[in-house]
Amino acid sequence: MADAITLQERIAELAEDYGSLRAAASALGCDAGYLSRLASGQKTEPSDATLHALGLRRVVSYERAAQESAP
């Protein structure tokens, strides 16, 4: 299984690697404002192309819902 990481953690890593969020966005070919909104959680559900640029892939998981008691 690959290492799980949040979108925000990955963006923070890239901003540190490139020296700033703006530099990371430029290197990735993304808009700095959009990357900032993803990092802050204001935007969600990035496109597959954006995920690819970030070196991520979407993984969906499900949890069992709590069972309600039958009357």
Residue whose tokens read 């540190």 = 16
pLDDT class of 65 with cuts at 50, 70, 90: confident
**Does a structural domain hold residue 68?**
no
**Residue 38 belongs to a domain with what CATH number?**
1.10.260
Q: How many domains does the chain have?
A: 1
Given a contact cutoff of 8 angstroms between Cβ atoms, the answer to whether 32 and 25 are in contact is yes
**pLDDT for 63:** 87
Q: Is residue 65 included in any domain, yes or no?
A: no
More confident residue, 66 or 70: 66
Which residue type, as a one-letter code, is found at position 9? E
What's the mean pLDDT in 20-47? Answer: 95
pLDDT in the model for residue 4:
86
Mean pLDDT across 39-64: 92
Q: Which two tokens stand for residue 54?
A: 């970030």
pTM over 0.85: no
DSSP per position, 51-66: HHHHT--------PPP
The better pLDDT of the pair 27, 4 is held by: 27
